[in-house]
Structure formats: structure tokens, C-alpha cells
């Protein structure tokens, strides 16, 4: 089964987008995928909003975009042996990428965590365009921010419960490591445990409630095993705690190059395209390795 037939990568020629192009080239080489590069350059209406805008400067930017994109395509060919294609389109970056997604229908879109305007305030920060695409894209979106740009060897598929979205998360988490390790990770919470303790419920009863919650969590996660790609080494990790904090701890323990997370809030399979669950957004924003957001 061909997992990646078509890969789209957005570039603004910044260091962060070079990470995205590198990851896209590596994946295209590994999976034999068609690779398209897209660059957004401002039309005159956008450019002329700048108070000192001059026509000759606009023409220089447009010409540079074509040359720079050609340079990126040549670099991908030289580095990965992949004959990529490229296109410069007029408009804002998020609009251009969404238009290209609609026409090209990629399996995965790769973007940098930040762009040309974003300060490096932290290694995990998301730029404005990346955040818009995370919220709006209706296909898997890979945020490239890790500096380990070899093939993925270890992934964490962060799931909530046995639902179709979690199955897609497990599929992608296992498919992108091939014969590597995929940790199916689920952090469960027992929201009323502290209230029980405050009410004077004895420790044995509280422990029994926690054990029952854990058993149900494990039973739910076990139902997702059938969605994993054959050949991947699967490990189930079910822990009690805040999902983001527990995931950060898990990542420190297993050292993944990739974290896969579902886009919508648990229990909201039919959320609108612009919806990203609070936990999913926190994971996408703060996780310091590559993150694949699966709709």
C-alpha cells in the first residue's frame, strides 16, 4: 500500500521552511512520492499596503521568488534524487496553500513551524501562517521543527479513545515509521478523584475507582491496534495524568522524531474544519519535535 503518493511542501525560503523542504524531500525519497513545492508571493494589492511600496521593488520580489524556488527544486534533486515540481502563486501564504491543497489533493502537507517574520522565541512556537493552516487544512499537516531529519524511527500516536479519528492517528503514526517503533499513547484523567478524597472517601475506594478507569482506558486503546500498519513495532502506553504534561514526559522517555495528534476535540468527530481541540492545539504548539495533525 502506497502511503504517500503526493506531498505538498510550502516554502518562504526561511530557515524554518528549509526544514520543511528537507523533511518533504526525505519522505518523497523514502516513499517514492510525487513532490510539489509551493511559494506565496504578494500580489500588488498586498504589496502596496506597505507605505513605501514601489513598483520596481515589487518586480524584484516576484523575480527573486521564481529564482529561489528553482534553487530549492535543484537542491531537492541534488540532495535526495527527487524530481520535484514547484509553483509560485500570488496571495497570502495560507490562501495559496489552501488553493494548492484543493487542486493537488496531497496525502500530506509539510510546513515549517515558523516563517520569515517569526522570531525564535522558543523552539516550539508556531508562526501565524502555520497556525492558520493547522486550524483550516482538511488533510494531514506535518509541522517540521525537529533537527533530526533522517527517516522517522520512533513515533508517538497520541489518542483519546477508540474512535475513527484515533484510528487515523494510529495509522499515520505507524505508517511513517515503517518498521520502526510506534507508541500508542493515551493519557486518561479521573476528574473527580480529588473530590472523593475531600469527601472523606477512603484510599482503597479511590484506588479502586482509578483502577477501573485505567482498565477502561486500556480496553479502549486495545481496539485501535488493528489500525496500525503491518511491520511497525507497536507499544501501548496508558498513563494517568494531564495529556500534555504526560506526553512531554513520554517524549522524553522514548525520544520520538514524530508526534501524531488528532485535529478535533474528543467526541466531536464532525467538528467544523477550523476547529482544533484545545489539547490538540496545545500539543501542536508546544511539542518540540515534528508534529503531524490528522483531521
- Give the pLDDT confidence score for residue 206 in this predicted structure: 64
Report the SS3 class of residue 136: helix
Burial of 122 (0-12, 13-18, 19+ CB in 10 A): exposed
The residue among 103, 118, 142, 108 whose CA lies nearest residue 19 is 142
Residue 254 Ramachandran class (φ > 0 left, ψ -120 to 50 alpha, else beta): alpha
- Give the pLDDT confidence score for residue 278 in this predicted structure: 61
Q: Do domains 1-151 and 152-295 have the same CATH topology?
A: yes
With beta carbons less than 8 A apart as the criterion, state whether 72 and 21 touch: yes
Burial of 83 (0-12, 13-18, 19+ CB in 10 A): exposed
CATH topology of domain 152-295: Rossmann fold (3.40.50)
Is pLDDT at 130 greater than 90 in this prediction?
A: no
- Give the pLDDT confidence score for residue 277 in this predicted structure: 54
Q: Tell me what the mean pLDDT of segment 199-221 comes to.
A: 78
Strands (E), the chain: 6-10, 34-41, 85-90, 108-112, 141-144, 154-158, 181-188, 233-240, 258-262, 290-294
Residue 58: pLDDT band (50, 70, 90) is confident
CATH architecture of 1-151: 3-Layer(aba) Sandwich (3.40)
More reliable by pLDDT, 53 or 132? 132
- Give the pLDDT confidence score for residue 135 in this predicted structure: 83
Q: What is the Cα–Cα distance from 279 to 285, expressed in whole angstroms?
A: 10
Mean pLDDT over each residue of the chain, to the nearest integer = 84
- Give the pLDDT confidence score for residue 217 in this predicted structure: 86
More reliable by pLDDT, 51 or 224? 224
pLDDT tens profile 87-114: 999 988 999 999 999 999 999 999 998 7
Domain boundaries, the chain: 1-151, 152-295
What predicted TM-score, i.e. pTM, was given to this entire model? 0.85
Q: What is the Cα–Cα distance from 93 to 89, expressed in whole angstroms?
A: 9
With beta carbons less than 8 A apart as the criterion, state whether 192 and 251 touch: no
% residues pLDDT > 90 (the chain):
49
Report the SS3 class of residue 206: helix
Residue 266: pLDDT band (50, 70, 90) is very low
The residue among 256, 282, 265, 295 whose CA lies nearest residue 161 is 265
Is pLDDT at 4 greater than 60 in this prediction?
A: yes
Amino acid at each position: 500500500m502506497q502511503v504517500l503518493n503526493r506531498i505538498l511542501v510550502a516554502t518562504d525560503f526561511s530557515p524554518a521552511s528549509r526544514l520543511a523542504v528537507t523533511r518533504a524531500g526525505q519522505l518523497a525519497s523514502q516513499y517514492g512520492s510525487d513532490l510539489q513545492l509551493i511559494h506565496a508571493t504578494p500580489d500588488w494589492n498586498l504589496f502596496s499596503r506597505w507605505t513605501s511600496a514601489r513598483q520596481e521593488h515589487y518586480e524584484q520580489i516576484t523575480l527573486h521568488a521564481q529564482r529561489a524556488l528553482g534553487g530549492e527544486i535543484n537542491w531537492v534533486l541534488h540532495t535526495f534524487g527527487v524530481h520535484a515540481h514547484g509553483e509560485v502563486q500570488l496571495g497570502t501564504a495560507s490562501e495559496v496553500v489552501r488553493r494548492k491543497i484543493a487542486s493537488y489533493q496531497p496525502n500530506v502537507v509539510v510546513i515549517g513551524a515558523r516563517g520569515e517574520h517569526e522570531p525564535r522565541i522558543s523552539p516550539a512556537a508556531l508562526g501565524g501562517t502555520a497556525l492558520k493552516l493547522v486550524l483550516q487544512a482538511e488533510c494531514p499537516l506535518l509541522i517540521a521543527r525537529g533537527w533530526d531529519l533522517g527517516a522517522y524511527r520512533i513515533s508517538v500516536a497520541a489518542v483519546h479513545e477508540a474512535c475513527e479519528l484515533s484510528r487515523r492517528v494510529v495509522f499515520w503514526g505507524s505508517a511513517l515509521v515503517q518498521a520502526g517503533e510506534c507508541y500508542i499513547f493515551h493519557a486518561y484523567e479521573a476528574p473527580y478523584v480529588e473530590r472523593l478524597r475531600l469527601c472523606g472517601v477512603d484510599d482503597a475506594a479511590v484506588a479502586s475507582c482509578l483502577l477501573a478507569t485505567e482498565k477502561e482506558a486500556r480496553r479502549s486503546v486495545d481496539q485501535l491496534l488493528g489500525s496500525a500498519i503491518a511491520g511497525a513495532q507497536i507499544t501501548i502506553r496508558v498513563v494517568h495524568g494531564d495529556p500534555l504534561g504526560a506526553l512531554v514526559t513520554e517524549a522524553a522517555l522514548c525520544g520520538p522524531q514524530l508526534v501524531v495528534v488528532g485535529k478535533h476535540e474528543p467526541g466531536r468527530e464532525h467538528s467544523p474544519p477550523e476547529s482544533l481541540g484545545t489539547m490538540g492545539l496545545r500539543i501542536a504548539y508546544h511539542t518540540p519535535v515534528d508534529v503531524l495533525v490528522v483531521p
